[in-house]
Structure 1
Amino acid sequence: MAHLRVLAMLALLTVLLLASAAWAGGTFQGVASCAGSTCHGRSEGDGKVVRQDELMQWQEPSSKGGAHSRAYAALTSPRGQKILSALSLGKAESASACLGCHATNAGAGERGGRFRLTDGVGCESCHGAASGWISSHYAVPATHVSNIAQGMIPLENPKARASVCLDCHFGSSKTGQFVTHSMMAAGHPRVAFELDLFSDLQRHWDDDADYRQRKGRGDSVRLWAVGQAEAVQRSLSLFQQPQFASEGIFPEFYFYDCHSCHRSIDDQPNRARTFETNPGRPMTFGLPPYNDENIIMLSAVAQVLAPGQAGAFDAASRQFHAAMGEGRPQAVAAASRLRAAAASLSSALAARQGSADSAFAVVDAIAGRVIAPRFTDYTGSAQAVMAVDTLLNSMVRQGRVTVGAAAGIRANINRAYAAVASPSSYDPPAFRAALGQAAGAIGSLR
């Protein structure tokens, strides 16, 4: 089995190397090129191989699944216009700081005849420029491997999918794909990322026998875990780059926990502190903490799925938080070590086939005595609720929990969501109690 796994990894590496040049180039054909009724433009998902109603799913106006198609329109909304005006970014169609994520922002020489910027985040934003594969990907001789070699991005691969999604849902060094603190001050929503949940919101494929034959069986726990590891790497990679590190004389507060500063303030002599000291952050008192929501989740999953690396990762995490109080050079060096530990975990998690009990064990770890005390802030707590919900859904998909049983404990999950419904009402002890109840309810189904 180990020999077969090595061969499979080598085959995937070969495919990725062949495709890397194609991903970097190609011409973007536009959403209309995928929209024929014999392709992805049907009104019902009754295709023999793929659903064929993917376009309808993409532009569904009443669900979060249609958010990609509405991305450009968000720039022209009243809120979008206020942000553009506050930042002096001009008109939506020329706001380069925004178009990297609110559209398939292909360069002028990369746009085919049917490409439209106003389509928002179209098919090719995720699947790659289609000029190399659009005319052949549906043909009988074509295979998924040959499509990838022609430039299609292998989104079934957790690392590849995470890389694509992180570009906009976390940030990248590409033009128009970094949400600054100034943007958030002007009204842009806070950036947060969870790969499996986001993937589920955009699900326009059926994980059926045909899909598994072409792309392999999906594993929600692995997808979630690799997403956490890749998010940690991406955050630290951007933090290490000087052009993203500061805003004038201030550090770029995008990297820090928003609500550590955005709290109620008064000068009354009997005022009480509205925060708790976090046991996972050995840092100078009073400094804003680095946003460690994904770091906490990765610590939890490492305990269960990669225990041999968990200690090294946690040590690097603590060193990084401590270095934030020492100076920029020390923080960058510590970030490099933590990023390497996260990369090692990502590779280990991507190669691991989860067992039937993996999701249960990870839920226990998130709400357990080691990790739960680190939920002292809103962002990490909100990430924990998404994780528990995601892992419960994976249990249902695996057949470990019935739909009815999951529905029966939904009230417990909803109480945990209610505990992070608003940053202004967030209470750490109350949240930890709600999380523990939710995890206990899930554990009772084991």
Structure 2
Amino acid sequence: MGRNRSLAIICGAAGLALVLLVLFLVRPEAAVATAQTAAGRTVVGVATCGGTTCHGRSEADGKIVRQDELMIWQDPSSPSGAHSRAWQVLAEPRSRAIAQRLGIGEATSAPMCLGCHATPAGGSRGARFQTSDGVGCEACHGAASSWLSSHYAVGANHAANVSRGMIPLDNPKARASVCLDCHFGSADSGQFVSHRIMAAGHPRIAFELDLFSTLQQHHNEDADYAARKGRTNPVKMWAVGQAMALDRSLSLFADARRGMEGMFPEFYFLDCHSCHRPISDDPRFAPTALDNPGRPIPEGMPPYNDENMIMLAAAAKVVAPSLADRFTRDSRAFHQAMAKDRAAAVAAAVTLRDSARALANAFAAADLGPAQAFAIVDAITHEAVSDRFTDYAGSVQAVMATDTLLSALVNMGAVGPGAAQSIRGDLNTAYRAVRDPNAYRPREFRASLGRAASAIRSLR
């Protein structure tokens, strides 16, 4: 099976519901964007790419690329069209209410919103650039003025296009860096969803690089693609994405402009469920919180959101065991430092960030195949790791990871589509356990994820 997987293979009914929740019901975060305009480069606009001899055909009958990419980007009802709808979302009642609460004027023109709901164009915009296009081609592929003509010229090649400014999205680290600018946040204006913005009504940020990349894919990984760029390794894409997400999180936390909000730490970085829990003075009230062995912090202290740390701890044991102990040590030291003071926390964050970067490099250089995919599923659901699924965010990452790795096994030919489909019931149960953050129960989630992982393990 090629990289173009159907939604039925990517995720089952409950899994698709969770993904659609992220990409549709919480559409304001659905814009992946960020191609900062380099000196001398201009964002030329979507219309420039939309000719029928380029990417604007109504059928995928191009000899080298599909050439119907614009139609996929504009799909009005599927995740593949979410980027084109990013600006339109700002005119909806929910977005207008958020803007009113924040006092930023119209959301459709507010810089706080346009950093991710439209293609960032800096001060250099071509005549055909339209903010209303939302997150266009160049938001991900880079400002095109310097490579637009060369990329379709006779004898053109991918390396030459990259040298002229095209972003090499086939590189997991480059792709993650672009996507994270909006799907996690950046230090640039309009690309950070603070706790204050979420308090005004913006949905919580959630992201997993391989799964979201697949849902947005607009190309075929055929022989021609492989010759030009190589095959995408979904296991590597997932692992590098997790490491890059933690790198970005810690970098922003260490930045005084993002890590603090007045006298408080920026709550965006903390685990939502550590505060957003039922409060009761009833002596019969039984808290649903469970101890997290990966967070050595005092009782009652809000912890840092460790969803990516949990995933990386599992992946490191399989792919980079020489770095695993270092990463675990640095993670625990960071949690402990959070209970001390800002200076200690920032110093520990920088140390942990360096460990995450080392893992990203190790993952990018590793040969990751079916054996590693099976082993990572085992590691994620192993008792030493699964005991850390005490809060909603980490559990969402775990079920998306298990789903992604199962699809990777299908894609690599290690598991048949029929066999994968036969265990969708278990995986869907795990998805349902995290569908509603207000109804999350960690014990039930661990049990359902464990059953799904056991079913996958039986296919080895």
**TM-score for the superposition, normalised by structure 2:** 0.91
Letter in 1 for 2:160: S
Report SS of the residue matched to 2:387: helix
Q: Provide the residue aligned with 1:230 in structure 2.
A: 244
More contact order relative to length (CA 8 Å, sep ≥ 6): 2
* Residue of structure 2 equivalent to 1:298: 312
Moved over 3 A (4+): 20-25
Aligned residue in 2 for 1:270: 284
How far apart are residue 274 of structure 1 and its match? Answer: 2.0
1:67 aligns with 2:82: yes
Matched, 1:396 2:410: yes
Q: 3-state DSSP class of the match of 2:384? A: coil
Q: CA deviation at 1:23?
A: 4.8
- Give, as a single letter, the amino acid of the residue that structure 2 aligns with 1:332: V
Give the C-alpha shift of residue 207 in structure 1. Answer: 1.1
Q: 2: distance between equivalents of 1:185 and 1:65?
A: 28
- Cα deviation, residue 231, structure 1: 0.3
Per-residue Cα deviation, 1:95-141 (whole angstroms, up to 9, x for no partner): 1111110000212x310010000100000000000000111201122
RMSD: 1.3
| 1:365 alignment partner in structure 2 | 379
1:1-40 maps to which residues of 2 (within 5 A)?
Answer: 23=38, 25-40=40-55
Establish whether residue 322 from structure 1 lines up as the match of residue 336 from structure 2: yes
Structure 2 gaps, min length 5 = 1-34
Q: Could you list the per-position Cα deviations for residues 73-105 of structure 1 after superposition, in whole angstroms to 9, with x for gaps in the alignment? A: 111111110111110111234311111100002
Partner AA of 2:106 in structure 1:
K
Aligned 8 A contact 1:23 1:152 in 2: no
- Once the two structures are TM-superposed, the CA of residue 65 in structure 1 deviates from its matched residue by 1.1
Contact 2:210 2:234 in 1 (8 A): yes
For the Cα contact (< 8 Å) 2:381–2:450, is it kept in 1? yes
Shift of 1:353: 1.4
Query: Which one of the candidate residues 254, 258, 262 is aligned to 2:268?
Result: 254
After the TM superposition, which residues 126-205 of structure 1 pair with which residues of structure 2 at under 5 Å, given as runs? 126-205=140-219
Aligned AA for 1:41?
Answer: G
SS of alignment partner, residue 40 of structure 1: coil
Tell me, yes or no, if structure 1 residue 418 matches structure 2 residue 416: no
Which of 451, 456, 459 aligns to 1:437? It is: 451
TM-score by length of 1: 0.94
What whole-Å deviation, never above 9, does each CA across 1:319-345 have from its counterpart, x for those lacking one?
Answer: 000111011111001001100000001
Task: Give the Å deviation of 1:142.
Answer: 1.0
1:354 equivalent in alignment to 2:368: yes
Q: CA offset at residue 21 of structure 1? A: 11
Residues 93 and 428 of structure 1: CA distance in aligned 2, closer, same or farther (over 3 Å)? closer
Count residues in correspondence.
426
Pair 297,24 (structure 1): closer, same or farther in 2 beyond 3 Å: farther
2: distance between equivalents of 1:105 and 1:54?
20
The answer for the alignment partner of 1:15 in structure 2 is: none
2:227 alignment partner in structure 1: 213
Q: Structure 1, residues 170-228: CA drift from partner, whole Å, max 9, x if none?
A: 00001100000011111111012210011011010111111110001110000000000
Shift in Å at residue 25 of structure 1?
4.8
Matches within 5 A, 1:32-51: 32-51=47-66
Q: 1:355 Cα shift?
A: 2.7
Q: What is the distance in 2 between the residues matched to 1:347 and 1:326?
A: 31
Q: Do 1:412 and 1:434's aligned partners in 2 also have CA atoms closer than 8 Å?
A: yes
Which residue of the other structure, out of 329, 343, 350, is the alignment partner of 1:336? 350
Equivalent residue in structure 1 for 2:130, among 116, 119, 137: 116
Q: Does 1:311 align with 2:315?
A: no
Q: Could you say which residue in structure 2 is the equivalent of 1:288?
A: 302
Report the CA distance between 1:277 and its aligned residue: 1.2
Instruction: Give the drift of 1:44.
Output: 1.4
**For the residues of structure 2 that align with 1:356 and 1:225, how far apart are their CA atoms?**
14
In the alignment, the residues of structure 1 paired with residue 100 and residue 378 of structure 2 have an alpha-carbon distance, to the nearest angstrom, of: 47
Tell whether the 8 Å contact from 2:331 to 2:352 is kept in structure 1 after alignment. Answer: yes
Q: What CA distance in whole angstroms lies between the structure 1 residues aligned with 2:368 and 2:241?
A: 15
Partner of 2:359: 345
Q: Counterpart of 2:195 in structure 1: which amino acid?
A: H
Residue 223 of structure 2 aligns to which amino acid in structure 1? A
User: Counterparts of 2:36 and 2:48 in 1: how far apart (Å)?
Assistant: 23
2:55/2:69 contact within 8 Å kept: yes
Give % identity. 61
Change (3 A) 1:268 1:339: same
Q: Secondary structure at the match of 1:424?
A: helix
SS of the residue corresponding to residue 326 of structure 1 reads coil
CA–CA distance in structure 1, aligned partners of residues 332 and 344 of structure 2: 13
For 1:371 and 1:23, the matched residues in 2 are separated by 42
Instruction: Determine the C-alpha separation between the residues in 2 that align with 1:402 and 1:83.
Output: 46
Show CA shifts across 1:222-241 (max 9, x none): 00000000000000000001
Q: How many Å separate the matches in 2 of 1:99 and 1:414? A: 35
User: Structure 2 vs 1, CA of residues 67 and 298 (structure 1 numbering), >3 Å: closer, same or farther?
Assistant: same
* Amino acid in structure 2 at the alignment position of 1:367: T
The alignment status of 1:98 with 2:113, answered yes or no, reads yes
1-structure distance, mates of 2:39, 2:134: 20
Q: Are the counterparts in 2 of residues 23 and 153 from structure 1 also a CA contact under 8 Å?
A: no
Alignment-derived partner of residue 76 in structure 1: 91
Q: CA deviation at 1:438?
A: 0.4
CA distance in 2, matches of 1:50, 1:110: 28
Q: Which amino acid aligns with 2:102?
A: L
Give the C-alpha shift of residue 22 in structure 1: 8.1
Deviates more, 1:350-359 or 1:194-203: 350-359
Deviation digits for residues 251-286 of structure 1, max 9, x if unmatched? Answer: 110000111111111111222122111000001211
Q: Tell me how far apart the structure 1 counterparts of residues 46 and 81 of structure 2 sit (CA, whole Å).
A: 14
Question: CA–CA distance in 1 between the matches of 2:140 and 2:295?
Answer: 36
